[in-house]
Chain A
Amino acid sequence: MFQPGPSARDLFEILVREHADMLTAFLRSLVHREDAVDDLFQETMLVAWRRLGDYDRTRPFAPWLRGIAARLAMARRRKGAIDAARCTPHALEFLEERFAALERLPGDSFLERSDRIRDCLQRLPAMLRESLDLAYGRGLALAEIAQSLDSSEEAVKKRVQRARALLAECMGTQEAAA
């Protein structure tokens, strides 16, 4: 059995810090509520700590961490958590592909690599960018955005959805180029 000592704990904290942003983004992709993100983050790290002896050090740490998080999220979905309804094996499989591809981009940290989405945001059509900004940047509700843009809620949903799809394509292009 792996018996982590004080030094292992310190090293583990470094790993936690290094991967905290990545894991947070991954969990935010899976569950909606911030408290659920916090719960799963903590659970993931706790499980990783317990299972550190099983970790294959020849392989990258981030996918292993995401694997734990994905299993925990799926367990949450099996228990009926509504905000984890998207945590299906299919979605998780493709999501893992996206995060793995992002890690192949040049950059020193996850934040640096994920920051490329800002470039993609600038390339969005103004109307789509505005919708995204109201939804994510200002945190407005759907009805408020619709009122602000003098548009229907359904149209706003489509715009946000379309903007996300374009951003995914843009990021995918960058990942493919790398």
Chain B
Amino acid sequence: MTGRTGDTPLAGAVGEARAGCIDPALLPELGESVGDRGGEQSADARWRDLAGELFVHGLLCNLRDDAEASRERRVRLAMSALPRRSVRVGRRTLVLWSEPRTFAPLAAAAMVLLAVGALSIFMARSEQSAAALVERSLAASGRAGDRSYAVTTVFDEAMPFTLPPARLDVRDREHQVLIAQTPDGRTFLAGRDAEGRWFRRPDGRMERLATPAGPGVPRWLEEAESLFLTDSIDEVLAALPREFTLRTEAAAPLPEGVGPPLQRESGDRAMRRVRAIRDDQQGPGPNRIELWIDPESRIVQRLELHWDDDPSPDLRAQRRVPWRRPPGCDPRGADPLGGFGRGPFVPREGEFVQRDAGRPMPPHPPAEGEAFGLQDPRGHRWVKELGPDPAQASERGPRPGVPGPTSRPWMGIPGQPPSKEGDHPTGSGPLVPRLPGGGDSRAGPDAPPPLLAAPQPRERARGQRPAGAPDPSRPGRPPRPRLIVFDLTGQAPLPPDWFSPQAHATATSTVPHD
């Protein structure tokens, strides 16, 4: 038989990689079988025929697949997505993870990803109900070319530089790279190109995510002091127009940055302003978004994501829906089982957190002392060198002869002086506030420096913890951010391959998604 490569029909032969089992042009379609049978068929008969074809189609696709490997992969992913422990609060189920040890190191970076996701939404999609100003800005973004944004995360006004700064490079809706440093010293690198999303593993290998190359990057959401990746970017994008109310504000120059001093090209020009208020204030995402848009280029110059504890009366008055949504109304979409609710967002395939669970520790890099910083491909360092590569003094513990975490240089904002008791006095890098009392579930010498101080509980109604306050029962876990700011810092062209994983690989092997 022509084309047979296996011993059994359809088995063993693997065709070219494609999104589905067969060419979509060959999928069963309703009514196509009518002509073969001759004569008229009832609607039921046509649906029955279609179902028969679909049934066979499913079986044939399973025949072609490597059942054992495929089953194992799906089972593992499904089981890893199950919550360890859950509590129900009203109609919502909050999921509490039981593996803080594997979760904490990347949680802060994931928070930045949350912001990246929100930014990509604004840059990638024009809402039907959005203001014309935002729509024009979106259109302009598509023609703007390469841009770089400084990303700064603020947990509390009193300690604004808890997270090291990050940089987001954007070319268009399909090309972006986020470079961030986690509090425990690793460089977090994730991006997307025309082939889809990728990230760099802690051991330096690049990994592509087996997810469709749709718009946006992984959008992380934080809830109950944990972070979750939404199950579908499409769903998030589809829900966005219903979630925000946009309105213009009085034009104003860009405010002072909350992060390092910025080299802004816009000067003191007045920027067009847009404020976005989320209608449902109970979700995990930012409840207020502020935009500064250049009146000439129409490019977003600054974007602020706010997690307000309790919106002001002014903000409440701007919302289109009541403060508490009516019972039974799930703003995130129809309930497919008639009442079970979608529950929390959970990590999906390709999520970073659990993928590290149980994996062997990566080997220590061979050398220390190499200057480390966020290198701008245009030729200058965006953040000044921070001393030895923090990844070399990661949470895996110090190497013999290498200073332990307690003497590891702090990463932070260049030029930012120590301002609080507990600031680390040593290290070649700049200092950031370090507050006493923090900790991590990894006790002992292997523990990374505490991220935050022991909390001053400010419990709110319904048991909610305010943004910026850590969880006393989960020391070391980054709290919810109060504010994440994106400031446009450059628009010079980046290298053509800057958005491909190869441009950032520190090892050559590419690990297939498991």
Which residues from chain A sit less than 8 Å from chain B, CB to CB? 1, 9, 12-13, 16-17, 20-21, 24-30, 32-35, 38-39, 41-43, 45-47, 49-51, 68, 71-72, 74-75, 78-81, 83, 86, 88, 90-95, 97-99, 102, 111, 114, 117-118, 121-122, 126, 129-130, 132-142, 148-149, 153, 156-158, 160-162, 164-165, 167-169, 171-172
Contact = CB atoms under 8 A, between A and B. Distances in A.
B55 A98 contact: yes
Nearest to A46: B81
Nearest to B53: A164
29 contacts: A1-B88, A16-B78, A17-B71, A28-B57, A29-B57, A30-B54, A32-B19, A33-B19, A35-B212, A39-B349, A41-B78, A46-B81, A46-B343, A80-B238, A88-B47, A93-B51, A95-B54, A111-B62, A133-B1, A135-B22, A139-B21, A140-B16, A153-B25, A160-B26, A162-B36, A165-B52, A167-B60, A168-B49, A171-B56
A28 B19 CA distance: 12
A32 to B, nearest CB: 4
A139 to B, nearest CB: 2
Given A16-B75, A45-B82, A139-B64, A114 B59 contact: yes
A26 B58 contact: yes
Interface in B201-219: 210-212
Interface in B339-369: 340, 343, 346, 348-349
Contact of A141 (B23, B32, B235): B23
A43 B341 CA distance: 12
A48 to B, nearest CB: 9
A51 B77 contact: no
A149 B54 CA distance: 24
Contact of A137 (B9, B16, B53, B211): B9
B85 to A, nearest CB: 9
Given A9-B82, A86-B30, A137-B6, A129 B1 contact: yes
B51 A42 contact: no
Nearest to B13: A137
Contacts of B33: 161-162, 165
Contacts of A169: 52
Nearest to A5: B85
A79 B18 CA distance: 24
Interface size class, chain B: 35 or more
B3 interface: yes
A-side binding surface: helix, strand, loop or mixed?
helix
Contacts of A28: 21, 57-58, 61-62
B51 A35 contact: no
Given A80-B238, A158-B36, A160-B26, 12 more contacts: A26-B58, A42-B81, A42-B349, A46-B78, A95-B54, A114-B62, A117-B59, A133-B10, A137-B13, A139-B16, A139-B18, A153-B25
A140 B15 contact: yes
Given A32-B19, A49-B82, A138 B334 contact: no
B340 to A, nearest CB: 6
